[in-house]
A and B are shown apart, each in its own frame.
Chain A
């Protein structure tokens, strides 16, 4: 995916739906249907801003939460991050109705398994967004499903009214403020054969669901999760792109992928969150250390130090040479 293949959209609606979450409606500039997608898909939003007087481009993945059968608009929800690298603040502070944006075509890395006998959906906080679109795909179908949705407090429960009205008692709410915790062990232990679990939320929740399911004998093909990591901030470092013959300086709050892109070299990507593996890049030389932050490579592959996911991972040391 490169910026040449993006779709120009404008913001047609902005709503503050919780103290931290804004809901955005996007429509194609000039009108017309947007590309079809399935529940669980995300788009990458390209934000052209500036920092310290020079242009600064953010590309963040956001899940599509609107019904997959409505293609006049896309809807996304963005949580304002306290320690933002700039993307969520751009979305919250700089956009107004009528603002223009570019988006990449939808990609689904969190798809429902169509031959499941039951779907068990678990959401924490803003992790509800891909699940809202999945629920639209499931609603009215023959396969049973239920949602367990955990938030800090009632005022943080985005889309609760919509969920209650549409899904009724298939939704179970858990409020941290009242000490209500999801009993993952009990929940996962009683599921009928052929159930698939889907979890989206904070890293701790995702890890607990995966670990509890595996300990309970669930096989990997029935466990689905999505977590887009924001590229972590780190020390500045240098990389050399062997084929382009360019040295690139990576700033502390910039991702390696962003730095490579601003040097004019394109790397194919889909999620920009360490999940899909699309931007995997060969490391030819490393004098120092690779700091892997992705969810894609196995620990064994990470230890080999010959490949990196530049969307979230960084390096430390004197010199890193990439096969780009």
Chain B
């Protein structure tokens, strides 16, 4: 099948603090608040001075499981900012990177689509794998890029999805583009129009 065993599928691990960094930038979405609090604990224990160089950007999301502002408030981090949407958060993230210096470590916790969009921006600033850590939590819904019309369909939970751009039925592959922060979607009924495999919710 087209969807399994593909190496570009990102692999995530539980977040750990990297005390080798000088500046720490933490991005969280929804349930991603918990892992960020763990990072803050680790920094406090491992390298207390680094909290003065630590910034947190957080957006609660709509999935439930959001962290309350006061939980971060007590962390000792230099700056904690709450955003109404992930879009606003990522906008501020970008302008923060414009001003950031070498020595920065990035931590991202949230749904994969949020991680992907943050990584895409980080890549533009040449942050490498050894400077970024990410933990997936929350929905597995995917951003799917249509390889035919190049439109991106958001929040995809099914194995087959209708493209928002060209109405084709797309098979959602594991083939992932870091540059586009999206999985590839390929027309599924090109050879036998209208014949679709069963549509199932798989990315919950």
Q: Please, how many angstroms separate the alpha-carbon atoms of A189 and B22 in the complex?
A: 10
Interface of A is mostly: loop
Return the CB mask of B116-139 against A: 1 if under 8 Å, else 0: 000000000111111100000000
Residues of B in contact (CB 8 Å), total: 18
Chain B residues whose CB sits within 8 angstroms of the CB of A217 once the complex forms: 20-23, 102-105
B127 touches A218 (CB 8 A): no
Chain A residues whose CB sits within 8 angstroms of the CB of B20 once the complex forms: 214, 217, 219
B125 touches A193 (CB 8 A): yes
Q: Does A220 sit within 8 A of B, measured CB to CB?
A: yes
Within 8 A of A (CB), among B1-60: 20-23
Interface residues on A, range: 20 to 34
A222 touches B128 (CB 8 A): yes
Chain B residues whose CB sits within 8 angstroms of the CB of A222 once the complex forms: 102, 128
Chain A, Cβ-Cβ closest to B97: A193
Q: Please, how many angstroms separate the alpha-carbon atoms of A294 and B127 in the complex?
A: 29
Q: Given A188-B102, A192-B102, A193-B102, decide whether A219 and B97 contact each other with a Cβ distance below 8 A.
A: no
Q: How far is the CB of B135 from chain A (nearest CB, A)?
A: 19
A194 touches B103 (CB 8 A): no
B23 touches A221 (CB 8 A): no
Within 8 A of A (CB), among B81-127: 97, 100-105, 125-127
Chain B residues whose CB sits within 8 angstroms of the CB of A117 once the complex forms: 125-126
Chain A, Cβ-Cβ closest to B132: A219
Chain B residues whose CB sits within 8 angstroms of the CB of A115 once the complex forms: 126
A221 touches B101 (CB 8 A): no
Q: Does A16 sit within 8 A of B, measured CB to CB?
A: no
Q: Please, how many angstroms separate the alpha-carbon atoms of A115 and B125 in the complex?
A: 9
Chain B residues whose CB sits within 8 angstroms of the CB of A193 once the complex forms: 97, 100-102, 104, 125-127
Chain B residues whose CB sits within 8 angstroms of the CB of A194 once the complex forms: 102, 125-127
Chain B residues whose CB sits within 8 angstroms of the CB of A218 once the complex forms: 102-103
Chain B, Cβ-Cβ closest to A116: B126
Chain A residues whose CB sits within 8 angstroms of the CB of B23 once the complex forms: 217
Q: Which of A189, A190, A217 has the most CB of B within 10 A?
A: A217
Within 8 A of B (CB), among A169-227: 188-196, 213-214, 216-222
Chain B, Cβ-Cβ closest to A188: B102
Q: Which of B100, B105, B128, B129 has the most CB of A within 10 A?
A: B128
Q: How far is the CB of A112 from chain B (nearest CB, A)?
A: 12
Chain A residues whose CB sits within 8 angstroms of the CB of B127 once the complex forms: 193-194
B102 touches A221 (CB 8 A): no
A219 touches B126 (CB 8 A): no
Return the CB mask of A95-119 against B: 1 if under 8 Å, else 0: 0000000000000000001011100
Q: How far is the CB of B98 from chain A (nearest CB, A)?
A: 8
Partner of A221, one of B100, B103, B125, B128: B128
A219 touches B131 (CB 8 A): yes
Chain A residues whose CB sits within 8 angstroms of the CB of B100 once the complex forms: 192-193
A-B contact pairs, 13 of them (CB 8 A): A117-B125, A189-B103, A193-B125, A194-B127, A195-B102, A196-B126, A217-B20, A217-B23, A217-B102, A219-B131, A221-B128, A221-B130, A222-B102
Could you tell me which A residues sit within 8 Å of B by CB distance? 113, 115-117, 188-196, 213-214, 216-222
Give the 5 A-B residue pairs with the shortest CB-CB distance, closest first.
A217-B103, A217-B22, A194-B126, A221-B128, A219-B130
